[in-house]
Chain A
Amino acid sequence: MAYKGLKVMDSDMHVMEPGDLWTRYIDPRYRSAAPAGPKEVHHPRLHGVEMPGKQLTSPLVGLKWFGPLVQHMEPQMADYTVAVERNWDGVSQLHAMDREGIDIAFQYPTKGLAVLGIDSVEFVGERGIEPAFAVAIARAYNDWMRDFCSPDPRRLIGVAMVAPHDVDAAVAETRRCVKELGFKGIFLLPGLIKGRPWHHPDYDPLWAECERLDIPVGFHGGVPDQLTDFGLGLTESLMMRHTFSHCLGPMSAGVSLCSGGVFDRFPKLRVGLLEANCSWAPWLLGRLDDHYLDYTGRFEIKLSKKPSEFFKSNCFVSVEPEEHAVKNFVEWFGDDNVVFSTDYPHPDSRFPHAVELFMKLPLSGTAKRKFLWDNCARLYGI
């Protein structure tokens, strides 16, 4: 495929899961409680997902964002007709990749970004979910994903959903997805479960497994959920909320891992901070280094390197196609840590011109090649 001779790997392409994914794939014990698409779909690209008896996320139709989103997507409708007709199946995914010039794409969820956005009953009582149920939700998604990728598993590569609500089960599911289903990574919502930051030792078995299997952990923000509010209380304006919410989650996971000792315990662990921009990194890691070296950090924890050094050796960030400030990142950190994504088929995607727009960024030819392929291959260990 390629884009004008350049090989392209999409680090974080999205699927549009069918509304009945979980009712079809979940362990029958949980079928009646399983997440499902709402009965009425108001727009072919805005589906939503609900969980009986639980407040999962605000349904898009209820929010002020629905109208603006529909207006925004109006001019894009023709680009998605094939996918809508084929119900967003794996073949339509390949078709979209061909249009953009993408050779290989790692698959991330849409509904799946919402379904585990709810804390454990152990922490929040009845409005939470049982860890075993969370585990079943993840397993069902992964089983469906394997089938989704079957039209061409060399080009459509699965990334596993795991439930942090039960770390032991998450470890087992990680191993199953890599060894039996051929997946190449796991992803996590950045919102905290049971109040545990990502550097909490409870998560060590999961990092150990990922390090052992040589797969990355991808942190990816979602919709407004019941976990940490990365939208800072801004609910009315999607413009304002999305400016923060998609970035702050992966940024805070990055801070937690880079200065919380995780990379000292698991030096070969790779972490992707996805769909969250990259040009905040000089500011964020500069501040974090100072807080470690010259403020209280050095009395709170012992690290063998500065947080920014861990960032450079273990983390990958993603550039948005319109992110002209990317040059600030490269000036500070070089060009080995950035990956690319079309973000197809989300409303903020530049499909089918995402790669074309990316090529206009102020980057050297070498940097562009690395962002489009080499760095992503290294992130996913392929």
Chain B
Amino acid sequence: MSYKGIPVMDSDMHLMEPYDLWDRYIDSGFKEGAPQGHPAEHPRLGFISLPGKENFNPEAINWFEPLKAHMEPQTTAYAFAVERSWDCFSQLQAMDQEGVDVSINYPTRALTILGTDSTEQIGARGLEARFAAAIARAYNDWLFDFCGADRKRLLAAALIAPHDPGLAAQEARRCVKELGFKAIFLAPGIVNKRPWYHPAYDPLWAECEKLDVPVVFHGTGPDSLTDFSLGLMQYLMMQHQFLHVLGPMMAAVCFCAGGVFERFPRLRLGLLEANCSWAPWFFGRLDDHYVDYIGKFEVKLSKKPSEYFLTNCYVSVEAEERTISQYVEWFGDDNVVFSTDYPHPDSRFPRSVETFFKLPLSQASQRKVLWDNCARLYGL
């Protein structure tokens, strides 16, 4: 495949889950209250939610018309996938069109499905830990079947419920050892009031380090956990400006300055679809806060947070992110990966890779971003 002879790995391609996924895959004991599909007229605007625990922010309705207007010119480009109901063969076709050899696949409709706090925190509106784990398990079983069309090209990231870290570690082990998955994915919002450096999560990080798979954080959508949209719900332009980026940034702070990498030095962290060019500002500030402000009195680290970032983290460049030149000047080119973001509305499909090549990067950097770094992130 490749793009004009250059191998391409998509760090974070997306699927369009069928509306009846959980009807078909969830354990029979959890059928009641299982996620339900809500198809929409527009093939990319339907969603899935948990009956009685809807965390869909009603202000999001504002965005439907602008989204439809934005997606209108893209209709032809996605017709082939709509016809095939976004099946595994259409996924491979999309990859072929872009020149993507291998993709690691993430959810769409399931991005917010676990975006509700535990029953311990919020009562009946919350997610009970074993139910959350069952929701994740069903998605992972479906994903395994989905990737069956070509297990060399369609790789998978496991949906993991953080509500019970012990169960989460078990599911991570099952997905990697039995299903051959290459990563775990967590929505960044805080559950059970535990920031990601909380020792309760150590069994999960230990398992991932042992299994040699990365922990990936990816922005979700408006859910009922941490509000990464900072109250800017009126315009999707503003909400998306922050929501997709702040979650992974918050995870980065927790891992790099919260001691997680002290305890698990070989653990890799993916901060995906969140830009990269904030890193010089952000880690400059975080380093200063550790070394010259109060951080050194709050936690003992053996390296500066920015040094942990370089040894353990990967960020992702957006196809139009021209400020990447400033990132590379500061941190070099070993930590950045690429994604088409197919088939999301903000994807440049079918010209994502083509757009990427217009970024101010050397040829050597381009190759690393398109392949080597991603292979290292996922331990391939």
A65, A68, A232, A295: most-surrounded residue (chain B CB, <10 A):
A232
Are B257 and A255 neighbours in the complex by a CB distance under 8 Å?
no
Instruction: Give every chain B residue within 8 A of A301 (Cβ-Cβ).
Output: 235, 237
B59 to chain A: closest residue by CB: A195
Chain B residues whose CB sits within 8 angstroms of the CB of A244 once the complex forms = 246, 249-250, 253
Asked whether B326 lies within 8 Å of A328 as measured between CB atoms, the reply is yes
Tell me the bound Cα distance from A17 to B234 in angstroms. 37
Q: Is the CB of A295 within 8 A of B289?
A: no
Asked if B240 is an interface residue, CB under 8 A from chain A, the answer is yes
User: Given B63, B285, B297, which contacts A67 in the complex, CB threshold below 8 Å?
Assistant: B297
A-contacting residues, B210-234, CB 8 Å: 226-228, 230-232, 234
* A68-B323 in contact (CB<8A): no
Chain B residue at smallest Cβ distance from A328: B326
Main secondary structure of the interface of B (DSSP, over half): helix
Q: 1/0 contact trace for A205-248 toward B, CB 8 Å?
A: 00000000000000000000000111011101111101110011
- B152-204 residues at the A interface, CB under 8 angstroms: 190, 193, 195
- B1 at interface by CB-CB < 8 Å: no
Interface residues of B in 293-340 (CB under 8 A from A): 293-295, 297-299, 318, 320-323, 326, 330
Known: A65-B294, A282-B326. A259 touches B65 (CB 8 A): no
Distance A320 CA – B289 CA, assembled complex (angstroms): 12
Q: Which residues of B contact A295 (CB under 8 A)?
A: 70, 236-237, 240, 345-346
B238 within 8 A of A: yes
**Are the CB atoms of B65 and A282 closer together than 8 Å?**
no
How many residues of chain B are within 8 Å of chain A by beta carbon? 59
**In the assembled complex, how far is the CB of residue A60 from the closest CB belonging to chain B, in whole angstroms?**
12
Contact indicator B231/A324 (Cβ below 8 Å):
no
Alpha-carbon gap, A230 to B228, bound state (A): 9
Are A322 and B295 neighbours in the complex by a CB distance under 8 Å? Answer: no
User: Could you say which of A260, A296, A332 contacts B70, with CB atoms under 8 Å apart?
Assistant: A296
B102 at the binding interface (Cβ < 8 Å): no
* B81 located at the interface, meaning its Cβ lies under 8 Å from any Cβ of chain A in the complex: no
Q: Is the CB of A239 within 8 A of B235?
A: no
B46-54, B123-131, B274-282 - interface stretch: B274-282
Which of A122-130, A140-148, A284-292, A373-381 is near enough to bind chain B?
A284-292
Q: Is the CB of A332 within 8 A of B323?
A: yes
**Interface 1/0 per residue, A285-326 and B, CB below 8 Å:** 011101110111101110000000000000000001011110
- Least CB distance, A327 to chain B, in whole angstroms: 9
The minimal Cβ–Cβ distance linking A331 to chain B, given in whole angstroms, is: 7
For B89, list chain A residues within 8 Å (CB): none
A-chain residues with CB within 8 Å of residue B380 when the two chains form the complex: none
Q: In the docked arrangement, what's the CA distance between A173 and B339, Å?
A: 51
Task: State which of A67, A236, A238, A300 has its C-beta within 8 Å of the C-beta of B235.
Answer: A300
| Cα distance, A228 to B297, chains bound together (Å) | 27
The B267-290 residues at the A interface (CB cut-off 8 A) are: 275, 277-278, 280-282, 284-286, 288-290
Query: Is A279 in contact with B246, judged by CB distance below 8 angstroms?
Result: no
Does A247 lie within 8 Å of B285, measured CB to CB?
A: yes
Is B242 in the interface zone, CB < 8 Å from A? yes
A283 touches B231 (CB 8 A): no
Query: Is B254 positioned at the interface, with any CB of A under 8 Å from its CB?
Result: yes
Q: Does B6 contact A (CB under 8 A)?
A: no
Q: Once the chains bind, are A277 and B292 in contact (CB under 8 Å)?
A: no
Given A247-B285, A300-B237 in contact, is the A286-B297 Cβ separation under 8 Å? Answer: no
Can you add 16 more A-B contacts, CB < 8 Å, to A69-B294, A239-B298? A67-B297, A197-B231, A197-B234, A228-B227, A239-B299, A260-B235, A279-B280, A280-B282, A286-B320, A286-B323, A287-B245, A290-B320, A300-B237, A323-B284, A325-B281, A328-B323
